[in-house]
Chain A
Amino acid sequence: GESVGLHLPTLSVQEGDNSIINCAYSNSASDYFIWYKQESGKGPQFIIDIRSNMDKRQGQRVTVLLNKTVKHLSLQIAATQPGDSAVYFCAENGGSQGNLIFGKGTKLSVKP
């Protein structure tokens, strides 16, 4: 889920398939994690969150998995739809005073 330079990692999936977006977080002391979705021209929108005392949390068509051992977070989207096309960011509360630190994002493209 990390980008180099100006290029975002891109994930392209077929409509109806499942999508998995990965993120490596930076601070081992972080205990709260969020996934955001950002559509073109809009602000980030909350999808799902998870606390460090859990390793899995499910929402509607989305699941977040947390692996604290390797500092890894993933977002699974079931039956991906064209409306899921967006940039997805992970965030951790590893900044000073619990401020969120955001990953650089992954662009999800859904092919009809």
Chain B
Amino acid sequence: NAGVTQTPKFQVLKTGQSMTLQCAQDMNHEYMSWYRQDPGMGLRLIHYSVGAGITDQGEVPNGYNVSRSTTEDFPLRLLSAAPSQTSVYFCASSYSLGAGTVIYEQYFGPGTRLTVT
């Protein structure tokens, strides 16, 4: 298994540009999520999905969109990049017992380092 894969690894955008960060997992996990990691801030949840066709907002969703058309893929879209979105982005997946129940151990991808100038 490749686990959780993310592309690209690095990206530089200009303010106002849009882009999509790709995330895929081959473990048949129902639950997938996107986090951003800023220095001294730990990991903050952007959006998550408990299954194909279902997405929901996390702690810091503004400026980001997601979709979940398949179990395997969970892309994150930046609609109009801003310098405040400079961060490292991690995708993660896990088994779960369904919406409203415990999320188990999450497997993380290697991250995408995004700089917005």
Contacts and interface: CB of A to CB of B under 8 A. Distances in A.
Interface in A5-39: 5-8, 31-32, 34, 36
B42 A98 contact: no
Contacts of A105: 42
A43 B58 contact: no
A96 B106 CA distance: 16
A95 B50 CA distance: 14
Interface in B82-117: 90, 92, 96, 99-111
Interface in A25-77: 31-32, 34, 36, 41-46, 49
Contact of A43 (B44, B101, B104, B110): B110
Contacts of A41: 111
Interface residues of B, number: 31
Interface residues of A, number: 29
Q: Secondary structure of the A side of the interface?
A: loop
B43 interface: yes
A99 B45 contact: yes
B40 interface: yes
B108 A6 contact: no
B101 A98 contact: yes
B107 A46 contact: yes
A100 interface: yes
Interface in A93-112: 93, 95-100, 102-105
**Nearest 6 A/B pairs, CB to CB:** A43-B108, A6-B40, A104-B42, A102-B43, A102-B42, A98-B103
13 contacts: A8-B40, A34-B106, A42-B110, A43-B109, A44-B43, A49-B105, A93-B102, A93-B103, A96-B56, A97-B100, A98-B100, A99-B58, A105-B42
Given A41-B111, A43-B111, 12 more contacts: A32-B103, A42-B110, A43-B90, A43-B109, A43-B110, A46-B107, A49-B105, A98-B100, A98-B102, A99-B33, A103-B42, A104-B40
